[in-house]
């Protein structure tokens, strides 16, 4: 497993390059009896599809999911689910030039160092199209979570310096703006800021926040496989993500213990926490309150402005990257964060099934 597999129980293997024949994923370990059809997957893929607003690449991809195995008469059979998305809109000529030099902020140089050469067309395996397999698998994981009452909601928390405001938070607003922000006013400001950057041939980053509700207490492992550690890995494994915060995150490092501790309280419905600085996890295990984390997304490295770099001959050169690029990748990454969260949670839930003898007896006992 050279890193294109994720998950120990609900195990996904993604494959495919930006300009190859297609991309896809094989899921091994999906339980039998889950209702599943291609539309369930397409709904998620459509959220990451390019070409949906002026702030994403103008490249149009059909990105149609086809289920090749593992589903029979509308239900999963327990055997591997293979999902294929054929590539249909590759203009390889756009990319032939980048074969000869290393784009700053991209993986061109490191792929060459690791493998000796690379499929340079559109970034090859390091393209954002690699996330298609993740999102397709994540859509299946989300269906499992729904069956046990768990919901995931990610959205854009900030675009460059423009942040959402808690007072204006409105989850219903998320799908209404091109930035997937739960705050219409912030979204409008983000649009102004992004257009300005685009005019200056530059690109923009931002922060994505994700909230999980309905999570039972007791999920996650206490040592290396802490739920927050696994979420951090899942989210940092997304191409442009450079930081991860659980609950108060870096702010907690500045707080005092009395400020940061969440008091337990019983209002008559069992143990609850009065606050949620921890983000829903204590000692790596879910505490029953919402799981909250944030991911920092860097600005798209492909900018039209002139940049200095080195070509494969080792010569210093100047380049200017044209072609169909996203000025900001944050909105399209929101669904990828949801997908990686779903994969992580399903795996943690399945891992936890054998944590107690009474649970073992529930399934296998006489």
Residues 158-187 contacting its own copies, CB under 8 A: 158, 160-161
Which of 59, 118, 129, 332 forms a contact with its own copies (CB under 8 A)? 118
**Among residue numbers 39 through 58, which ones bind its own copies (CB under 8 A)?**
none
**Among residue numbers 85 through 104, which ones bind its own copies (CB under 8 A)?**
102, 104
Does 74 sit near its own copies (CB under 8 A)?
A: no
Contact at 8 Å (CB) between 8 and 348?
no
Give the pair of three-digit tokens for residue 34: 């889950």
Pairing of strands 11-16, 5-6: antiparallel
Is residue 74 helix, strand or coil?
coil
Cα 177 to Cα 27: distance, rounded to the nearest angstrom? 32
Which of 23, 141, 339, 342 forms a contact with its own copies (CB under 8 A)? 23
* Minimum distance of its own copies from residue 173's CB (angstroms): 21
Interacting residues of 366 by C-beta distance below 8 A, sequence separation 6+? none
Which of 51, 237, 290, 323 forms a contact with its own copies (CB under 8 A)? 237
Which of 173, 183, 209, 228 forms a contact with its own copies (CB under 8 A)? 228
- The annotation status of 300 as a binding-site residue, yes or no, is yes
Torsion of CA 162, 163, 165, 171, to 10 degrees: 110
Which of 93, 166, 172, 258 forms a contact with its own copies (CB under 8 A)? 258
- The annotation status of 309 as a binding-site residue, yes or no, is no
Interacting residues of 318 by C-beta distance below 8 A, sequence separation 6+? 306, 307, 308, 309
Of 84 and 174, which has the nearer Cβ to its own copies?
84
Checking phi first, is residue 78 left (phi over 0); if not, alpha (psi -120 to 50) or beta? left
Which of 122, 124, 128, 182 forms a contact with its own copies (CB under 8 A)? 124
**Among residue numbers 285 through 314, which ones bind its own copies (CB under 8 A)?**
285-288, 296-303, 305, 307-310, 314
Cα 270 to Cα 265: distance, rounded to the nearest angstrom? 8
Beta bridge partners of 151: 213
Site residue total, its own copies (CB under 8 A): 166
Does 192 sit near its own copies (CB under 8 A)?
A: no
């Amino acid at each position: 497993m050279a890193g294109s597999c994720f998950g120990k129980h609900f195990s996904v293997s993604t494959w495919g390059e930006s300009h190859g024949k297609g991309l896809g994923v094989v899921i091994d370990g999906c339980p039998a009896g889950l209702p599943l059809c291609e539309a369930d997957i397409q709904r998620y893929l459509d959220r990451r599809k390019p070409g949906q607003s002026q702030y994403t690449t103008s490249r149009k991809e059909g990105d149609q999911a086809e289920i090749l195995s593992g589903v029979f008469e509308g239900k999963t059979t327990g055997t591997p689910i293979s999902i294929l998305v054929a590539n249909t809109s590759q203009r390889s000529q756009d990319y032939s030039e980048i074969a000869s030099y290393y784009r700053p902020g991209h993986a061109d140089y490191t792929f060459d160092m690791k493998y000796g050469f690379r499929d340079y067309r559109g970034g090859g395996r390091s393209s954002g199209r690699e996330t298609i397999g993740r999102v397709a698998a994540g859509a299946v994981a989300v269906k499992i979570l729904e069956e046990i009452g768990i919901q995931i909601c990610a959205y854009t928390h900030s675009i460059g310096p423009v942040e959402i405001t808690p007072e204006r938070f409105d989850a219903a607003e998320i799908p209404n703006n091109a930035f997937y922000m739960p705050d219409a006013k912030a979204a409008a400001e983000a649009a102004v800021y992004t257009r300005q950057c685009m005019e200056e041939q530059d690109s923009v980053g931002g922060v994505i926040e994700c909230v999980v509700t309905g999570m039972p207490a007791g999920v996650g492992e206490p040592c290396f496989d802490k739920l927050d550690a696994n979420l951090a890995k899942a989210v940092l494994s997304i191409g442009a993500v450079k930081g991860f915060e659980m609950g108060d995150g870096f702010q907690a490092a500045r707080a005092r213990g009395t400020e940061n501790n969440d008091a337990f309280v019983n209002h008559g419905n069992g143990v609850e926490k009065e606050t949620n600085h921890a983000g829903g996890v204590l000692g790596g295990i879910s505490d029953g309150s919402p799981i909250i984390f944030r991911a920092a997304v860097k600005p798209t490295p492909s900018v039209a402005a002139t940049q200095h770099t080195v070509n494969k001959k080792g010569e210093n050169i100047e380049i200017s990257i044209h072609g169909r690029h996203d000025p900001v990748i944050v909105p399209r990454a929101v669904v990828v964060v949801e997908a990686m969260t779903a994969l992580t949670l399903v795996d943690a839930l399945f891992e936890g099934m054998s944590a107690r003898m009474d649970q073992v007896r529930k399934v296998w006992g006489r």
